[in-house]
Amino acid sequence: MDIISFSKHILDHRIDRRKEHSVETIVYIAMAAVICGAESWGEIEAFGICKKDFFARQ
């Protein structure tokens, strides 16, 4: 099972109106950021913003 398929089974407790990104997207970006050296949520966020165009193409 790939990580995206696995992450689709994660229960999302967020309020619907506050959901800007899917859980799958958050997990994917967080894992990519950590592999690239991110060590905090702030660094994961910065990575996601920096790579926004790349992730939009996927």
Residue 7 in any domain: the answer is: no
Name the pLDDT band for 1 (thresholds 50, 70, 90).
Answer: low
DSSP H helical ranges for 1-58: 3-7, 23-35, 41-50, 52-57
Length of the chain in terms of residues written: 58
Which residues form the domain of 31?
Answer: 21-57
Number of domains within the chain: 1
Write the burial class of residue 30 (CB in 10 Å: 0-12 exposed, 13-18 middle, 19+ buried). Answer: middle
Quick one: pLDDT at residue 9? 82
Over residues 9-41, the pLDDT tens digits come to 888 888 888 788 888 888 889 999 999 999 999
Judged against a pLDDT cut of 80, whether residue 55 lies above it is answered with yes
Identify whether 44 is part of a domain.
yes
Q: Report the C-alpha gap between 49 and 25 in whole angstroms.
A: 13
